[in-house]
Amino acid sequence: MYRALYTAASGMETQQLNLENVANNLANANTTGFRRRRLQFQDLIYQSIVLPGAASTQQTTFPTGLQIGLGARAAASEIIQLQGDFNTTGNPLDLVIQGQGFFQVQLPSGEIAYTRAGAFQLDPTGIIVTSDGNQLQPAITIPAAATNVTIGADGTVSVQLPGATASQQVGTIQLATFANAGGLNSIGGNLSLETTASGNPIAGVPGGPEGLGTIQQGALESSNVDVVGEFIQMILAQRSYEANSRVVHAADQMFQTINGLTS
């Protein structure tokens, strides 16, 4: 009887977590480069009252066992690595990656973080930075006098200087990829850090053999949140929560029945 209460409570807990995850996905529906997460659930351990195949006598075995499961738990929240839609903005420093690579940016601590959000700007000294002011790595400086910035599919950054006929190359953007990008550690601000689960970053020039993808200038990758899908998840979470609460109610009533058994 106690088991039923705790089992249903574990179900309610996982559904609440499910709803919290949906809330975060929906809240980030318009976040550039955001990738939605999906919760993965598992069943908990089983209490074997009669193990399937246990001997009922020396000659015979029980055809079916009696195992009572003890509920569910959330095992992981997987990042869905699907490409988001591209929005053309026309801004020369808005970049999208067509492929699985990440931009590398340097945090104030000196650590390298990885992002899909390609909304870059210039800092006062002309260095390319993210909207939080973190430098794109390797650092690229755009001369103040430049009239035009062109970023090629392979990451080559070139500028047009006044009075010059040929454009001048000022650097190359490098991208990084991971064996298991789903294992990156999200730290907010559209940034992720490498972990032992993700493996070491494999950096290279866009369009190379590492499968980093190519860079497209003048567009941004919107989030890959599927609003309709999230609504369906929300309904499912709510109804499952209700079903679990029904079990709590039923267990409570049966309890009450026993307690009401007067002498």
Partner 1 sequence: MNSGFYSAFAGFAARTDALEMLANNVANASTVGFKASHAFYRSFDSWTQPFNATPLNQAINHFGVLGGAHLDLSPGNIEPTGNDTDVALEGKGFFIIQAANGIRYTRAGNFSLNAQRQLVTAQGDLVLGEQGPIQIPAGQLSISADGTISVDGVLVSKLKIADAAPNTQLTAEGKNYFVIPVAAVKDATTVTVRQGNLEMSNSDPVRTTVSIIELQRTAELMEKALSIFHNEFNKTATQQIPIV
Question: Which residue's CB is nearer to partner 1, number 165 or number 259?
Answer: 259
Binding window for partner 1 (CB under 8 A); candidates: 130-138, 144-152, 215-223, 241-249: 241-249
Question: Which residue's CB is nearer to partner 1, number 72 or number 146?
Answer: 72
Q: How far is the CB of 61 from partner 1 (least distance, A)?
A: 8
Report which DSSP code applies to 183.
Answer: G
DSSP string, 199-214: ---EEE-TTSTT---E
Report which DSSP code applies to 182.
Answer: G
Q: How far is the CB of 136 from partner 1 (least distance, A)?
A: 23
Q: Quick one: which of 19, 97, 149, 251 contacts partner 1 (CB under 8 A)?
A: 251
Q: How far apart, in whole angstroms, are the C-alpha atoms of residue 202 and residue 206?
A: 12
Q: How far apart, in whole angstroms, are the C-alpha atoms of residue 201 and residue 179?
A: 8
State which amino acid sits at residue 234.
M
Give me the torsion for CA of 167, 96, 180, 11, rounded to 10°: 160
The CA-to-CA distance between both ends of the chain, in Å, stands at 22
Q: Quick one: which of 29, 41, 132, 234 contacts partner 1 (CB under 8 A)?
A: 41
Q: Quick one: which of 27, 187, 197, 227 contacts partner 1 (CB under 8 A)?
A: 197
Residues between 114 and 173 with contacts to partner 1, criterion CB under 8 A: none
Residue 192 interacting with partner 1 (CB under 8 A):
no
Residue 217 interacting with partner 1 (CB under 8 A):
no
Q: Quick one: which of 24, 26, 29, 38 contacts partner 1 (CB under 8 A)?
A: 38
Binding window for partner 1 (CB under 8 A); candidates: 150-158, 159-167, 215-223, 242-250: 242-250
Pull the structure tokens for residue 116: 């899909």
Question: Which residue's CB is nearer to partner 1, number 56 or number 150?
Answer: 56
Q: How far apart, in whole angstroms, are the C-alpha atoms of residue 192 and residue 180?
A: 13
Residues between 52 and 91 with contacts to partner 1, criterion CB under 8 A: 52-53, 56-57, 62-72, 75-76, 78, 80-82
How many chain residues touch partner 1 (CB under 8 A)? 75
Residue 235 interacting with partner 1 (CB under 8 A):
no
Q: Where are the alpha helices (DSSP H) in 82-226?
A: none
Q: How far apart, in whole angstroms, are the C-alpha atoms of residue 88 and residue 166?
A: 27
Q: How far is the CB of 184 from partner 1 (least distance, A)?
A: 11
Environment class of 34 (CB within 10 Å of its CB; exposed 0-12, middle 13-18, buried 19+): buried
